[in-house]
Amino acid sequence: MKQRKKFDQVNVIPLIDILLVLLVMVITTATFIKQGILPIELPEAKASDKKEDKKEFDIYITKDGKYHLDKKEISIADLESRLSKIDKDQTVVLRSDKEASFQHFVSVMDILKKLEHKQLYIVTKE
């Protein structure tokens, strides 16, 4: 009968190798995340189109139910006509007072859905 070797030690060297590789990967990834972008220099072109940044439209609903578009008071009918004239990919930011009637909020959301706006942000306070 063969006698088996007694197993009284664990070889941790392969485990340490794997952990070191994982550490290098985490550090490399964390560097890219912290910078946010890869550091590259873009080439220049003489004949190119400049992309214009599209303006945000801010809609405010006050606690007394008044609507404001870019800090100017506006009626709900005028708001709908102004929103129908802007591009559907334009960013719309909606800020509603917590004391405002929920119906006012729903009215604005209904208009945006009817006009098929795609970029909507609802601003809240933490």
109: tokens are: 């959301």
What sign has the CA pseudo-torsion 66, 69, 75, 76?
A: negative
Q: Which CATH architecture has domain 57-122?
A: 2-Layer Sandwich (3.30)
Close Cβ partners of 67 (under 8 Å, ≥ 6 residues apart): 59, 60, 61, 73, 74, 75, 76, 79, 104, 108
pLDDT score for 110: 92
pLDDT score for 15: 92
- In 3D space, the residue among 60, 76, 62, 55 whose CA is nearest the CA of residue 119 turns out to be 55
pLDDT score for 31: 66
Could you list the pLDDT tens digit for every one of the 126 residues in the chain? 667 777 778 888 999 999 999 999 888 877 665 554 445 555 666 665 555 556 788 888 888 888 988 888 899 999 999 988 888 888 888 888 888 888 988 999 999 999 988 888 888 765
Extents of the domains making up the chain = 57-122
Whole-model pTM: value is 0.54
